[in-house]
């Protein structure tokens, strides 16, 4: 892995250059994307409808719920750095 200054790294990134040679992919992380547990109480009917829709789409129910929440939040507020 090559080393450059933060300013040079930012410039290359902003200019759309390939910066992969400056990143240690074995330790790279994406901030604010770590899974967290969120407890939501819904009626049994809502849970069943969510699970049915998720099955039809071939995705886990929690993935579908997260996507729907993200879509709703993006509709009302600009996306913060995720």
What confidence tier does 15 reach under pLDDT thresholds 50, 70, 90? Answer: very high
Q: Note the pLDDT of residue 2.
A: 84
Residue 81 has pLDDT above 50, yes or no: no
Q: Is the dihedral of CA 52, 55, 56, 59 positive or negative?
A: positive
Distance of CA 54 to the CA centre of its chain: 18
Residue 62 has pLDDT above 50, yes or no: yes
How much is the average pLDDT of 39-57?
97
**CB of 64 within 8 A of CB of 79?**
no
Q: Note the pLDDT of residue 6.
A: 92
| pTM listed for this prediction | 0.57
Helical pair 61-76 and 44-57, crossing angle rounded to 10 deg: 100
């Amino acid at each position: 892995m090559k080393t450059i200054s933060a300013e040079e790294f930012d410039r290359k990134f902003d200019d759309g250059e390939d910066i992969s040679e400056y990143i240690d992919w074995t330790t790279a992380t994406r901030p604010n994307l770590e899974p967290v547990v969120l407890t939501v109480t819904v009626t049994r009917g809502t849970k069943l409808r969510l699970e049915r829709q998720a099955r039809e789409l071939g995705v886990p129910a929690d993935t579908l719920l997260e996507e729907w929440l993200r879509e709703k939040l993006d509709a009302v507020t600009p996306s913060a750095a995720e």
